[in-house]
Amino acid sequence: MKAFAELDARFSSVRNAVLETERQAVETDLQAAKSPPTPPTPPLQPTGASPAQVADEPADGEAADEAQSLLVSPPLTGKAGRARPKSSRLLASEQALQEARGECEALRVECSELQAECVSLRAQHASLKGELAAALVATTRSKGEEGARTAEIIGQRDAALCMGRKELEATTEAVLQELALCEADKEREAMSEAPLEELRARLAEAEKGRDAALYRAEQVEREAAAIKEAEEKHTRQLAAEMWGMREAHSVTVKELTRELSCERERHKATRLRKASVGGREGRAACEQPQVLSEKAALENTLV
């Protein structure tokens, strides 16, 4: 998210720089248009023109209005009916106006392409972020399930061990008590070997039960150790997979950042080159009110 914010800030700074350059060019053209132009050559008067008609001709300061009227009005004719030829300055203004319109259209198309590319990059970034969040949630859930299962198995093992110890202690205590009773009655029952043999058999059975309980306890401990080892292996595997996903996401973001930076640098160079060429060739065309209005509309569109 931080890298995307930096990209957005850089794009905003580049766009502001381009708009500032265009604004300075427009201000320069406006100042050039407001400065008093060179006096144009007086137009040819029809045969028989009166001094009052000559006085009604446009002054030198109205050269721009005259050029505009020539653009939209039909060609003037003299007495012989021939069309008045356009001046070289008017032809240059028309050509510069057409070039400025073409450049404006190209800039609009290029801006639309860049905006679509930015939207696509934002969508890709959001998709990658969602995938990473889903992977993290799945990893956390799996780790919680493994921990709960391990805790349950450990609890069962502890319960079995505790029960086995209690049974063993109870059996041993009972056998010891019986042995004590047998030893006490040994002198009185010296002639009868049957109770002693029975006690020896019961003691042997108690020892066998103790050995079986110890074996079960050792088996439960081995199973718990195997489960713990499997859990650690699974945890390491999940950590490696999550690290790989993070590395892949980082590489993807870096590649997208580099591509966007190259595209913006190319766009900036193209805009600056076109602005410099348009500033030199279209200075005469900027004197027209129609060109000024189109430049203002282009600036509003870019903003």
Amino acid at 264: R
Answer yes or no: is 43 within a domain. Answer: no
3-state SS class at 114: helix
Rounded (5°) CA angle 12-14-20:
100
Answer yes or no: is 48 within a domain. Answer: no
Answer yes or no: is 194 within a domain. Answer: yes
Residue 262: which domain range? 2-31+89-302
Answer yes or no: is 191 within a domain. Answer: yes
Q: What is the pLDDT of residues 148-199, one digit of tens each?
A: 888 888 888 888 888 888 888 888 888 888 888 887 777 666 656 656 777 7
Q: What is the pLDDT of residues 195-254, one digit of tens each?
A: 677 778 888 888 888 888 889 889 989 998 999 899 899 899 998 888 988 888 888 888
Answer yes or no: is 39 within a domain. Answer: no
Answer yes or no: is 59 within a domain. Answer: no
Whether the CA torsion 18, 20, 24, 26 is positive or negative: it is positive
Amino acid at 92: A
Number of domains in the chain: 1
Who has greater pLDDT, 231 or 81?
Answer: 231
User: What CATH number did the domain enclosing 108 receive?
Assistant: 1.10.287
Decide if pLDDT at 286 tops 60. no
Q: Which residues contact 258 (CB under 8 A, 6 or more apart)?
A: none
The partner residues of 77 in beta bridges, in order of sequence, read 83
Answer yes or no: is 82 within a domain. Answer: no
Answer yes or no: is 70 within a domain. Answer: no
CA dist., res. 163 & res. 155, Å (int):
12
